[in-house]
Amino acid sequence: MLLMLPFAHNGDLRFVDAIFTATSAVCVTGLIVKDTAFDFTTFGHVIILALIQIGGIGYMTAVTFMAVMRGKRLTYRDRLILKESLNYPGMSGIFRFLKIVFASIILIELIGTTILALRFWDDMPFLDALWYGFFHSVSAFNNAGFSLFSTNLMDYRGDLVINLTIPLLVIIGGLGYLVVLELYNYRRKSLTRLSTHTKIVLWTSGFMILAGMAIILSLEWNNPDSLGGMNTYEKIVSAWFASVNYRTAGFNTIDFSTFNDSDLFFGTVFMMTGGSPGGTAGGIKTTVIALAVIGVWFTLRGQNNPHIFHRSLNSYQINKAYAIIFVASFYVLISTVILNESEKLDFVRTLFETCSAFATVGVSTGNGGVLSYSALFSDVGKFNIILLMLMGRIGVFAFTIVIVGKAVQTRIKYAEGKVII
């Protein structure tokens, strides 16, 4: 409703496009059906940025923090909800952790703002550079991908400052607050050992970034429409930037519509993986993929005691990882088929857009201009994407529980049945 106010946008703004933009912002996705730079005023940009910030840290976390700052006493249920929202391992010290999280967010975003503002100052007046730096810093840290440039960051394709600052903000936001603070404490020597969770997150995230770079470079190196016309430096930097944003944010320095279908297909895998629990990124999470891979590895080896980093893993968690991957894939495939049949557009690009929406990534092959591929969809198709973004941000399990209800505990155990595999 705020975006539909006359002084929030330029020209006409339909309700479906306003709710699409608001959903994309609060779900920190970055898909756009209106040009953020020109179709919205400064007031509209402030609304979008506020939605990004709230969506990135989690609205329950934000509301609880404000309540704590006002001195309100929280019930045990409030603490439990906060624990789940932050993916905090226990109840002890959760308020202190919450305050540290907010202080860290402010500090990181201000550092990003300073670096980006100084860079943009070369291209625009200082106050404009400061606003652009702040907007892109918040958008990057929260893995949103919204930009105040119509062509996103394509004009800065070879710029080292932009190509380092934006991805690093994206990575830090996507690692999860618990991991970032654990790394900080480990560096200060106040922590003697990193947790298994942190190790899995770091190893999986690093592997996914390097694997994404390798695939993009190998498939697009000689493609004249994408990387083929660049020098070696620009190819490597562009592949790095694209690989980081493939999984968590919607920024781009190259036109994804120029990528071949093989690359776009691999891109859907990286997008579905997403970031890590307790952070600002979406997707089915790096830990889920890691647990599933570990489970498959030990199953193929005929062992029933999966472990990593000299720590055993709970079999229920591995089964839950399988379930999340299965349910998420089911939602995406069904939505892709529905969109493909209703919109009659290219299948691979429709699949790419669907995965980008569900994983709240925001990268897109585009509509032939500066908007996302979703701009070509009918109103029904846009609402389908809106539902996917909400589903992806809420979480696969949480969304599914709303539909099927919570599992009922039973004390009955049937005799074991033998199934041949």
pLDDT at 133 over 90: yes
- Identify which of 247, 238, 31, 43 has the alpha carbon closest to the alpha carbon of residue 147: 31
Query: For the chain, what are the domain ranges?
Result: 6-404
pLDDT-wise least confident of 24-33, 92-101, 125-134, 216-225 = 92-101
Q: What is the DSSP string of 317-336?
A: HHHHHHHHHHHHHHHHHHHH
Contact by Cβ (8 Å): 3, 36:
no
Q: What are phi and psi of 41, to 5 degrees?
A: -85, 180
Mean pLDDT within 62-83? 67
pLDDT at 93: 66
Angstrom distance (rounded) from CA 326 to CA 334: 12
Six-digit token pair at 237? 């930097």
SS3 12: coil
Inter-residue contact 260 to 268 (CB < 8 Å): no
Residue 60's pLDDT band, with cuts at 50, 70 and 90, is low
Tell me how crowded residue 368 is: count the other CB atoms within 10 A of its CB. Answer: 10
pLDDT at 84 over 70: no
- pLDDT exceeds cutoff 80 at 48: yes
Tell me the three state secondary structure of residue 166: helix
- Average pLDDT for 199-222: 92
State the Cα–Cα distance between residues 84 and 73, nearest whole angstrom.
18
Given CA atoms 37, 31, 211, 308 in this order, what sign does their dihedral have? positive
* Residue 407: CB atoms within 10 Å: 7
pLDDT on residue 74? 65
Q: Which of 289, 290, 284 is nearest to 308 (CA)?
A: 290
Q: How far apart are CA 308 and CA 319, in angstroms?
A: 16
Position 71 confidence tier, pLDDT thresholds 50, 70, 90:
low
Residue 217 has pLDDT above 80, yes or no: yes
pLDDT score for 339: 92
- pLDDT in the model for residue 405: 62
- The pLDDT assigned to 121 comes to 94
**pLDDT above 90: residue 180:** no
Structure confidence by residue, pLDDT tens digits, 361-375: 888 998 888 889 999
User: CA separation (Å) from 85 to 58, 79, 179, 203, 374?
Assistant: 7, 10, 15, 24, 30
**Which DSSP letter does residue 309 get?**
T
Sign for the CA dihedral angle at 81, 84, 88, 91 comes to: positive
Lowest mean pLDDT among 233-247, 249-263, 269-283: 269-283
| SS3 label, residue 252 | coil
Residue that is written with structure tokens 């790095």 in the block: 240
Q: Looking at residues 278-282, what average pLDDT do you find? A: 76
When comparing pLDDT for 104 and 61, which is higher?
104
CA atoms within 13 A on the CB side of 385: 40
Tokens linked to 319: 């089964």
Distance CA 138, CA 154 (A): 19
